[in-house]
Amino acid sequence: MPVFLSATAPGFAEDFARLLGQKREEAEDVQQTVAGIIADVRAGGDAALIALTARFDRLQLRPGTLAFSPEEISAEVAKVSASDRAALELAADRIRSYHARQRPGDESWTDAAGAMLGWRWTPVSAAGLYVPGGIASYPSSVLMNAIPAKVAGVEQLVIVCPTPGGVVNPLVLLAAQIAGVDVVYRIGGAQAIAALAYGTETIAAVDKITGPGNAYVAAAKRQVFGRVGIDMIAGPSEVLIIADAENDPDWIALDLLSQAEHDESTQSILITTDAALGRAVAAAVDHRLQTLDRRAIAAAAWAANGAVITVETLDQAAALANRIAPEHLQIMTGDPEALAARISHAGAIFLGAWTPEAIGDYVGGPNHVLPTARSARFSSGLSVLDFMKRTTIARMTPGALQTVGPAAVRLANSESLQAHGLSVQARLDRLNERPPA
């Protein structure tokens, strides 16, 4: 059974704090194992990568077969039905259109001192995208990671995707083709992250690594950060739904279960102003669980991490939501826009009863790679900006330097950085010998 909490009950503050502090991440200590894998790949290159793939994925490779050949991709893509292809293309078009609006512009201006200032944006040269394989093989993740990179202008875009036992998901390869991925490698785990970060004889090192993975992948991304950029360290998925009495309990139950079926660590929470609705939703969850293929996973997640919280007002709901800072927030109230205006911390917001979070996973347009574990308090979902960097630009005229330079000299001297001050003062001395141009 999920946790049932009421904002008016004694001890609610302590119970809610306990819910917030619940640790759902993988408990297994993988740091040392991952460090060893990374060291092996750095030292052994292709040979180590091939050995680790044989060990963990039961797949025998050689340098020439680390990547799918164009012929293999064509053969696999041909297996995809026309309806599945159409769905992927629709999703890709919507994701591309949404992310195209995120491209930032360059700026340049002359300030009051006469200095030219500004910035320009340029893409990273190469990015590597991790795509889970096996059971959790998601073509939607390919689109969500690859399309923003292509919109940003990344020149070289590669995917690493494990194929345990050689099992391939044709939809993943089609998604890669639609998104414009250059190379797809059939490797995964921490060893794939190491190969992307440090390179091997066959795989070129990249500048940025994005994409979800298991505890080993997350640990590897954490350990290679600094050598390369990463998007985030994603934890188990989560959804928070705020609903008033005017809602279908079965719809809400399905929305909660759409997260719970990911894995046993996911969290699904309902906050409602109507206690009867909360009870009806819990009953609907129990009924729907009997019909799901992944009911064992969903039931375990709902029992361990699910919660139904009753509040007196929507203001209270908004305040609790900001403390939770959920990855996904569904607002199913009479005026969802008004309530959304009170939300400061959420990875993504879905407005109204007709906007289930599952739409955002596939065809909504915004990215589904989002901050988890309350990190929406300080971070955002994946975007075009994750594949770009801003370079600042400044040009001093003699007059501008004469205006602002003396302050720089004073500040440098106050920090005992003599050469800093002298580098500016030497130019000021030259200007004092003649009027500025």
Angle between helices 215-224 and 189-198 (to 10 degrees): 20
What's the DSSP call for residue 204? P
What residues act catalytically?
Answer: 327-328
Q: E strands along 12-133, which residues?
A: 107-110, 116-123, 126-130
**DSSP secondary-structure letter at 11?**
T
Which amino acid is present at 231? D
Contacts of 10 (CB under 8 A, 6+ apart): none
Burial of 3 (0-12, 13-18, 19+ CB in 10 A): middle
Strands 126-130 and 208-210: parallel
State the Cα–Cα distance between residues 292 and 299, nearest whole angstrom.
10
Which tokens in the block code for residue 31?
């740091």
Cα separation values, 56 from 49, 188, 247, Å: 11, 9, 47
